[in-house]
Chain A
Amino acid sequence: MPAQYKLVKCTINGKYTETMVDVRASLTDLLRDDYRLTSVKKGCEVGECGACNVIIDHECFNSCIYLAVWADGKSITTLESLMGPNGELSDIQQAFIDEAAVQCGFCTPGFIMSAVEILESGKEYTRDELRKLMSGHLCRCTGYENILNAVEKTMLRRLGKLPS
C-alpha cells in the first residue's frame, strides 16, 4: 500500500503552518521531525510518562498518542513558546531552576507545560490538588517535591500571595 499523506493546517506556537503529514505520524513526530521542536520528548510513547506533553487548544495532551492528522485546525503550544523575545526564561522555568526541580531534565518540558495550563487557569489550588493535576508525569530524579514547590510558588506569586 502506498504511503498516505494529508495536508494539516494548524497553528504551532502562534504561527500558522501547513504541513503534508504521513497519516501514520504521531503529533510528537510532526513537532520534532518537521519543526525541530525537540522540547517534545519521546519517552514511553504509550501515554504514561508525560514527556511529550503539549497544549492543544488550552488543554494538555500527550502528543505521542495523538495522531498528527488530528492537529488540523488546532492551536498547539510547546515549551519553546515560553521563551521571551531576547531568550529570557518564563517565571515557571526560572522557578524550576530556583527550586532545583530539574536534574536530568528529560521530564521537565512536559511538567512545565502542565504547569502552564494550571497557572493560566488563574485559580489557587491546594498542594493535594496540584499533586493530582501534575500526576500525568513521571520523574525518576527529583522525587517530585521540588517540582511541586516550583509550581506552587509560581502560582502564589502570580496571585500576588508571595513576593516575586
Chain B
Amino acid sequence: MYDMKALYEANTVEEAVKLRMEHPEAQIIAGGSDVLIQMREGKRAGKELISIYMIDEMRGVKLDEEEAIRIGSLTSFSHITKDPIIQEYINVLGEAVDMVGGPQIRNIATIGGNTCNGVTSADSASTLFAWDAVIELTGPEGIRRIPISDFYIKAGTVDIREGELQTAVIIPKNSYEGYKGHYIKYANRNAMDIATTGCSVNVKLSEDKKTIEDIRIAFGVAGPIPMRTKSAELLAKGQPVSKELAEAFGKEILEDINPRDSWRASKDFRKHIAVEMATRCFIESVKLSGGEI
C-alpha cells in the first residue's frame, strides 16, 4: 500500500487538464518510477495523485505533417528504443534511454516523466537538449510549445503552469535532418545506476564529409540542470574535421560546465571525464556521419 491521500485518474488529456484545475496541489504520476519511490521514501507521502498513465493517446512516436518527430510523453523508454522512426532519424536517443535503470524500469518509465522531474542526470535530457527538442504542454488555454532549454528552470523545477501537463516531446525536422549523434553515460555500474556525467553530441558534416557544418553538444550532471556547451560548438563549427579539432572541442567544454562535488564523484573528476566524453562523442558522431578521423 502506498501512503497516498487520494488518486484521481484521467483517461484523456482533457480529463487530465480538468483534474489539474480541480486539484492544483495534486502530483501528476505517469509511469511512477520516480513518484512512487519518493512516496515510499516518505518525500511525497500523504499526497494526492493524478494518474495519467492510462491516457493511451499520449503514447507512441510519429512524424507529424511538418515531418517533425513527435514522441508522446507517455512513451516508455523501451518503446522509444525499438521504434523504427527513432532508429532511422535519431537513433542516439534510443541508445541513450536504453541505458536508464534496467529492463523493467525501461518498460514503465516515460520520457515525459524523465524530463518533468527536472533532474540533471536524466539520460534522455542531455540528448534532447542536443537535438533542440521542443516540449509541448497542454493546459486550459490550449497548447503551448517551448524549447527544452526554457522548460528547465532550476534543479527539480520545470515550466509546467497551472492546469498544464506535458503531452509530447518534439524534434523538429531542421534539428535532425542530416545529423548523426552519439551519447556516453559514465556510471559506476552498467545497469541500475544514475549517470555520474552524461554527454550527447550530434554533428552535420559538409557534403564532402570534411567540414563540421554544424555541431551540438549537451551534458547531464555538469550543472544543476542539463546544459549545452555553446563555446565548444562555436569553436568547432565550420572547421575541417581532424583529431586535433576533436581534442580542442573536448577541452573547450570547460568554459561552460559547472559540475559539483557529490558522493558520486568530485567536481575535478567530473571535469576530467567530461572533456574525454566530449572528445569521444565528437569522434564517434563524425564517424557515424561518414567522416574520417
Q: In the complex, which residues 31-86 of chain A have their Cβ closer than 8 Å to any Cβ of chain B?
A: 45-48, 50, 53, 59-62, 65-67, 69-70, 72
Contact of A50 among B1, B4, B104 (CB under 8 A): B104
In contact, B1 and A26 (Cβ under 8 angstroms): yes
A sample of 8 more A-B contacts (CB under 8 A), given A1-B6, A47-B33, is A45-B40, A46-B41, A47-B37, A47-B108, A61-B107, A62-B105, A134-B103, A137-B102
Interchain CA distance A28-B252 in the complex, whole Å: 50
Task: Indicate if A91 sits at the interface (CB-CB under 8 A).
Answer: no
The 27 listed contacts between A and B (C-beta, < 8 Å) are A1-B6, A4-B7, A23-B4, A23-B7, A24-B2, A46-B41, A47-B33, A47-B37, A47-B105, A50-B102, A60-B107, A62-B105, A67-B2, A67-B32, A67-B53, A70-B54, A114-B103, A114-B104, A132-B103, A132-B191, A135-B102, A135-B103, A135-B191, A136-B102, A136-B105, A136-B192, A137-B102
Residues of chain B with a CB closer than 8 A to A53's CB: 104
CB distance from A148 to the nearest CB of B (A): 14
Give Cα A46–Cα B53 distance, bound, in whole angstroms: 18
**What does DSSP make chain B's interface, helix, strand, loop or mixed?**
mixed
**CB of A99 closer than 8 Å to a CB of B:** no
Q: Tell whether, in the assembled complex, residue A59 and residue B4 are in contact, meaning their CB atoms are under 8 Å apart.
A: no
Among candidates B3, B41, B101, residue contacting A24 with C-beta atoms closer than 8 Å: B3
Asked if residues B1 and A22 are in contact (CB atoms below 8 Å), the reply is yes
Q: Is B51 an interface residue (CB 8 A)?
A: yes
Q: Binary interface profile of A, 9-29, with partner B (CB < 8 Å = 1, else 0)? A: 000000000000011111001
Residue of chain B at shortest CB distance from A45: B40
**Interface range on chain A: under 10, 10 to 19, 20 to 34, or 35 or more?**
20 to 34
Select which of A46, A59, A62, A114 is within 8 A of B40 by beta carbon.
Answer: A46
Residue in A closest to B192 when the chains form the complex, CB atoms: A48
Residues of A with C-beta under 8 A to B33: 47, 65
Contact present for B107 and A67 (CB under 8 Å)? no
Closest-by-CB residue of A relative to B9 is A69
Interface, chain B (partner A; CB < 8 A): 1-7, 9, 29, 32-33, 36-37, 40-41, 51, 53-54, 78, 101-105, 107-108, 190-192
0/1 string, A99-139, CB within 8 A of B gives 1: 00000000000000010000000000000000011111100
Could you say which residues of chain B place their CB within 8 Å of the CB of A133? 103
What sequence of 0s and 1s flags, for each residue 141-162 of chain A, a beta carbon within 8 Å of any chain B beta carbon? 0000000000000000000000
Q: Are A62 and B53 in contact (CB under 8 A)?
A: no
**Nearest Cβ in chain A — how far from B169, in angstroms?**
21
- Contact A29 B104, beta carbon cutoff 8 Å: no
Say whether A47 contacts B1, CB under 8 Å.
Answer: no
A47 to B108, CA, bound (A): 10
Bound state CA distance, A23 and B3, in angstroms? 10
Q: How far is the CA of A26 from the CA of B108 in the complex (A)?
A: 14
Do B102 and A67 touch (CB < 8 A)? no
Contact indicator B1/A59 (Cβ below 8 Å): no
What is the bound-complex CA distance between A47 and B40, given in angstroms? 11
**Which chain A residues lie closer than 8 Å to B108 at the CB level?**
47, 61-62, 65-66
Binding site for B on A (CB under 8 A): 1, 4, 6, 22-26, 29, 45-48, 50, 53, 59-62, 65-67, 69-70, 72, 114, 132-137
Whether B32 pairs with A136 at a CB distance below 8 angstroms is no
Q: Could you say which residues of chain B place their CB within 8 Å of the CB of A67?
A: 2, 7, 29, 32, 36, 51, 53
Measured CB to CB, the closest approach of chain A to B183, in angstroms, equals: 16
Once bound together, how far apart are the Cα atoms of A25 and B36, in whole Å? 11
- Closest CB-CB distance, A124 to chain B, in whole Å? 18
Give min CB distance, A60 to chain B, whole Å: 5
B185 to chain A minimum Cβ distance, whole angstroms, is 13
Decide if B37 touches A46 in the complex (CB within 8 Å). yes
Inter-chain contacts of A48 with B (CB < 8 A): 192
For B101, list chain A residues within 8 Å (CB). 47, 136
By a CB distance below 8 angstroms, the chain B residues around A65 are 32-33, 36-37, 108
The docked-state distance in angstroms from the alpha carbon of A47 to that of B33 is 7
* A117 nearest CB neighbor, chain B only: B103
